[in-house]
Amino acid sequence: MPHDQHAEPDFSDDPFEARLSSALHDAGASFDTDRAALTAAGAAHGRRLRRRQQASVFGAVTVTAVAAVVGGTLVLPGGEGGAAGQPAAPGTSVNPTPKPSDSGVTEQQMITTLQKLLPHGTVSEQTGRGSGEKPGYSATASLVFDDGKGPAAVDVAIDHVPPGTDEAQQTVQCPDKVYIPYDSCTTDRLADGSVVMLLQGYEYPDRRTDTKRWTAELITPTGQHVSVNEWNAAQEKDAPVSRATPPLDRAALTRLAAAPEWRTLVDAIPQRRSHGLAYTQEPGAPVRSTLASLLPKGLAVVGRSSDETGFGYLVVDDGKGASLVQVNVQTGMNDVRDQLFDSGSEELPDGTLVAVHKEPGEKGGKGVVMWTVDSMTPDGRRVVVSAFNSGSQEAAATRKTPALTIAQLRKIALSPQWWQ
């Protein structure tokens, strides 16, 4: 059965960057047990896949199962105007989309709507969650769909995103291939002003299986958000591949995400309170450009992130192979100081703590190592610099050690330029 990953808490009183800061903060608190988690959390800054990337930080919840129709399988004709644009089969009918009530959207409304919008085929293992079941969480529907070419998991989640904010922009922004490999990704504006991102990638970035995951993230001009995912297997994980590709091509996936039925349901979900402001940057210098200015001589920059505060990376090459170097810059971290630094950490005369770590950096790449220098000032300002012996954690090692030494990473982490 497909599992729901749309378990995103509604930080109603926090804009997106506050939520991200909280995620980084939490990741930092567990840094000793999973140092790569902070790396991944930082990488998501400005490059997130909303439902997928936040699952690692905020957790995932399996939705409540709903009784299947007709012995567990329902034969679906393609409704007029549905995702595939196929006419209904003769002698069949589709139940109309239930109208949302003042109390929000129910799980059955979500399931019925998804079934109605799919092309001709059979569905089973339907599950869903209404907007009122877990306040602040997306309303969802998941099922297994078979168009005659093999079963495939399909799910959808709907909610609001404050329009015009950094969160809205990043939801439909293609992710960075340094952290999330994929075959293709495009962002397009539809005729009604909605923006849709279509991503054709894989369930596992290291492609240890052939499970493909194709995603559509759509946001309307008024902030209605629809997220659709499909796989070429009956489950997103731990299920054999059942077909060459997911069932809906790019056009059909776009039509499903853009269906007006979802917008009607989104409008029935209470909106988060808006601060009326887009993302406000934390104090500090833009990370990528600051990192570039602090690099030792002799390194060619062959890849780079966008230039923002909070997180940035460069891929460098000293002639011996690509090496990923990345930095997280955080404030207000004093409450996890004891979890990040211990008696083995170095304390400088001004009270700044420094910890050094050498450990495996594998997420998918074979033989990848990660060298890290972690620093924190007495007032809780933290700079974490990591270097890898590969241009990506998802790729195999390109060299024996990272391009920067621990001494060079230490100099970067302790530079006052981060706070100028």
**Any idea which architecture 287-419 has in CATH?**
3-Layer(aba) Sandwich (3.40)
Q: Residue 130 in contact with residue 156, Cβ under 8 Å? A: no
DSSP at 115: H
Instruction: Give the SS3 label for residue 53.
Output: helix
Beta bridge partners of 226: 158, 218
What does DSSP say about strands 182-189 and 382-388: parallel, antiparallel, or unpaired? unpaired
Phi-psi domain of 246 (left: phi exceeds 0; alpha: psi -120 through 50; beta: other): beta
Q: Residue 112 in contact with residue 156, Cβ under 8 Å? A: no
- Averages of pLDDT over each 10 residues, the chain, 420 residues: 43 36 39 40 35 28 24 32 36 44 80 96 94 78 96 95 85 84 92 94 84 95 95 90 95 96 92 44 71 94 84 93 94 91 95 94 75 96 94 87 96 93
Q: Where are the alpha helices (DSSP H) in 172-286?
A: 250-258, 260-267
Give CA separation, 125 vs 14, 45, 151, 309, in Å.
36, 35, 11, 44
Q: How many CB atoms lie within 10 A of CB 183?
A: 10
Give CA separation, 410 vs 150, 343, 349, 372, in Å.
53, 18, 16, 9
| Gap between the Cα atoms of 395 and 328, Å rounded | 21
pLDDT at 85: 36
What tokens were used for 83? 């995702």
The answer to pTM > 0.85 is no
What tokens were used for 79? 């409704």
Q: Which residue, among 24, 18, 19, 26, has the nearest Cα to 383 in the 3D structure?
A: 24
> Where is 294: in which H helix or E strand?
helix 287-294
Beta bridge partners of 157: 140, 227
What tokens were used for 91? 């002698």
Q: Residue 328 in contact with residue 38, Cβ under 8 Å? A: yes
pLDDT at 284: 59
pLDDT at 286: 84
Give CA separation, 274 vs 9, 67, 267, 277, in Å.
15, 37, 15, 8
Find the angle CA(167)-CA(172)-CA(177) to the nearest 5 degrees: 105
Task: Cite the residue boundaries of each domain of the chain with CATH code 3.40.1000.
Answer: 287-419
Q: Which residue, among 134, 369, 118, has the nearest Cα to 246 in the 3D structure?
A: 118
What tokens were used for 148? 């005659």
Q: What are phi and psi of 172, to 5 degrees?
A: -110, 20
| Gap between the Cα atoms of 288 and 306, Å rounded | 7
Half-sphere exposure of 137 (CA within 13 A, CB side): 24
pLDDT at 136: 67
Beta bridge partners of 144: 124, 153
Q: What are phi and psi of 3, to 5 degrees?
A: -105, 140
